Amino acid sequence: MAVQLDHRDDDLAETHEINVTPFIDVILVLLIIFMVAAPLATVDVPVDLPVSNAAQQPRPERPLYLTIRADLGLTLGEETVTREGLAAALDAATKRNREERIFLRVDQAVAYGDVMQVMNALRAAGYLKVALVGLEQAAAAAAPTASP
Protein backbone atom coordinates (compact mmCIF):
# COMPACT_ATOMS: atom_id res chain seq x y z
CA MET A 1 0.00 0.00 0.00
CA ALA A 2 1.22 3.29 -0.91
CA VAL A 3 0.02 6.71 0.02
CA GLN A 4 0.90 9.68 -1.97
CA LEU A 5 1.71 12.57 0.28
CA ASP A 6 2.98 14.87 -2.35
CA HIS A 7 0.33 17.26 -3.48
CA ARG A 8 1.58 19.14 -6.40
CA ASP A 9 -1.07 21.84 -6.14
CA ASP A 10 -0.88 22.85 -2.48
CA ASP A 11 -2.90 25.98 -3.00
CA LEU A 12 -6.46 25.35 -2.00
CA ALA A 13 -8.82 27.26 -4.16
CA GLU A 14 -10.62 29.99 -2.33
CA THR A 15 -14.36 29.96 -2.65
CA HIS A 16 -16.01 33.34 -2.87
CA GLU A 17 -19.56 32.05 -2.44
CA ILE A 18 -21.66 32.26 0.69
CA ASN A 19 -22.89 28.97 2.03
CA VAL A 20 -26.60 29.63 2.59
CA THR A 21 -27.53 26.18 3.85
CA PRO A 22 -27.05 27.00 7.57
CA PHE A 23 -28.94 30.26 7.06
CA ILE A 24 -31.88 28.42 5.48
CA ASP A 25 -31.85 25.86 8.32
CA VAL A 26 -32.06 28.63 10.94
CA ILE A 27 -34.86 30.39 9.07
CA LEU A 28 -36.88 27.17 8.80
CA VAL A 29 -36.47 26.46 12.52
CA LEU A 30 -37.61 30.01 13.37
CA LEU A 31 -40.55 29.65 11.02
CA ILE A 32 -41.66 26.47 12.77
CA ILE A 33 -41.29 28.11 16.18
CA PHE A 34 -43.41 31.09 15.12
CA MET A 35 -46.01 28.85 13.50
CA VAL A 36 -46.42 26.97 16.78
CA ALA A 37 -46.23 30.01 19.09
CA ALA A 38 -48.43 32.46 17.14
CA PRO A 39 -51.78 30.70 17.72
CA LEU A 40 -50.98 30.43 21.42
CA ALA A 41 -50.37 34.17 21.70
CA THR A 42 -53.64 35.28 20.13
CA VAL A 43 -57.09 35.57 21.65
CA ASP A 44 -60.07 33.85 20.05
CA VAL A 45 -62.17 37.02 20.08
CA PRO A 46 -60.54 39.96 18.30
CA VAL A 47 -61.02 42.98 20.57
CA ASP A 48 -59.09 46.22 20.54
CA LEU A 49 -58.84 46.81 24.27
CA PRO A 50 -58.05 50.29 25.56
CA VAL A 51 -55.17 50.83 27.95
CA SER A 52 -56.12 52.24 31.32
CA ASN A 53 -53.50 54.14 33.24
CA ALA A 54 -55.94 55.92 35.52
CA ALA A 55 -55.30 55.83 39.22
CA GLN A 56 -58.09 54.63 41.48
CA GLN A 57 -60.38 57.52 42.24
CA PRO A 58 -61.27 58.36 45.84
CA ARG A 59 -64.79 57.36 46.79
CA PRO A 60 -67.07 60.35 47.38
CA GLU A 61 -68.60 60.88 50.81
CA ARG A 62 -72.11 60.20 49.56
CA PRO A 63 -71.98 58.21 46.30
CA LEU A 64 -75.09 58.20 44.13
CA TYR A 65 -76.05 54.61 43.35
CA LEU A 66 -78.33 53.66 40.48
CA THR A 67 -79.37 50.04 40.86
CA ILE A 68 -80.91 47.77 38.23
CA ARG A 69 -82.74 45.02 40.09
CA ALA A 70 -83.36 41.50 38.77
CA ASP A 71 -86.94 42.49 37.83
CA LEU A 72 -85.43 45.34 35.69
CA GLY A 73 -86.70 47.98 38.11
CA LEU A 74 -84.52 51.03 38.78
CA THR A 75 -83.60 52.40 42.18
CA LEU A 76 -81.80 55.70 42.59
CA GLY A 77 -80.29 55.72 46.06
CA GLU A 78 -83.18 54.27 48.10
CA GLU A 79 -85.97 55.59 45.85
CA THR A 80 -87.60 53.56 43.08
CA VAL A 81 -87.74 55.42 39.75
CA THR A 82 -89.14 54.64 36.33
CA ARG A 83 -87.06 54.69 33.16
CA GLU A 84 -89.04 57.68 31.91
CA GLY A 85 -88.47 59.60 35.15
CA LEU A 86 -84.78 58.69 35.44
CA ALA A 87 -83.46 61.96 33.99
CA ALA A 88 -85.62 64.11 36.30
CA ALA A 89 -84.69 62.01 39.34
CA LEU A 90 -80.98 62.29 38.50
CA ASP A 91 -81.27 66.07 38.06
CA ALA A 92 -82.98 66.34 41.45
CA ALA A 93 -80.46 64.08 43.20
CA THR A 94 -77.38 65.78 41.70
CA LYS A 95 -78.81 69.33 41.63
CA ARG A 96 -78.24 69.28 37.83
CA ASN A 97 -74.52 68.58 38.28
CA ARG A 98 -73.88 66.39 35.24
CA GLU A 99 -70.20 66.00 36.21
CA GLU A 100 -71.13 63.90 39.24
CA ARG A 101 -70.23 60.22 38.94
CA ILE A 102 -73.14 57.76 38.93
CA PHE A 103 -72.35 54.37 40.47
CA LEU A 104 -74.26 51.70 38.55
CA ARG A 105 -75.06 48.46 40.39
CA VAL A 106 -76.59 45.65 38.36
CA ASP A 107 -77.98 42.30 39.46
CA GLN A 108 -76.28 39.29 37.86
CA ALA A 109 -79.58 38.14 36.34
CA VAL A 110 -79.94 41.30 34.23
CA ALA A 111 -79.11 40.88 30.54
CA TYR A 112 -76.37 42.95 28.90
CA GLY A 113 -78.87 44.62 26.55
CA ASP A 114 -80.91 45.92 29.47
CA VAL A 115 -77.78 47.38 31.08
CA MET A 116 -76.94 49.13 27.81
CA GLN A 117 -80.46 50.62 27.63
CA VAL A 118 -80.02 52.16 31.08
CA MET A 119 -76.55 53.42 30.18
CA ASN A 120 -77.97 54.97 27.00
CA ALA A 121 -80.65 56.66 29.13
CA LEU A 122 -77.90 58.03 31.40
CA ARG A 123 -76.00 59.34 28.40
CA ALA A 124 -79.16 60.90 26.94
CA ALA A 125 -79.74 62.65 30.27
CA GLY A 126 -76.21 64.07 30.08
CA TYR A 127 -74.55 61.91 32.73
CA LEU A 128 -71.40 60.56 31.11
CA LYS A 129 -69.43 59.63 34.22
CA VAL A 130 -70.68 56.16 35.09
CA ALA A 131 -68.83 53.73 37.33
CA LEU A 132 -69.77 50.06 37.34
CA VAL A 133 -69.89 48.57 40.83
CA GLY A 134 -68.91 44.97 41.49
CA LEU A 135 -67.62 42.79 44.26
CA GLU A 136 -63.96 42.02 44.62
CA GLN A 137 -63.13 38.38 43.96
CA ALA A 138 -62.26 37.55 47.59
CA ALA A 139 -65.37 39.29 48.91
CA ALA A 140 -67.60 37.60 46.32
CA ALA A 141 -66.34 34.14 47.31
CA ALA A 142 -66.90 34.79 51.01
CA ALA A 143 -70.27 36.56 50.80
CA PRO A 144 -73.47 34.55 50.38
CA THR A 145 -75.93 35.67 47.72
CA ALA A 146 -78.02 38.48 49.16
CA SER A 147 -81.52 39.33 48.13
CA PRO A 148 -82.41 42.99 47.51
Alpha helices (H) in 18-111, listed in sequence order: 21-41, 86-94
Contact call for residues 130 and 86 (beta carbons, < 8 A)? no
The pTM of this model reads 0.56
Query: pLDDT by residue (tens digit) across 23-70?
Result: 999 999 999 998 888 877 654 545 344 444 555 667 778 889 898 988
Query: pLDDT by residue (tens digit) across 117-148?
Result: 999 999 999 999 998 877 654 444 555 554 44
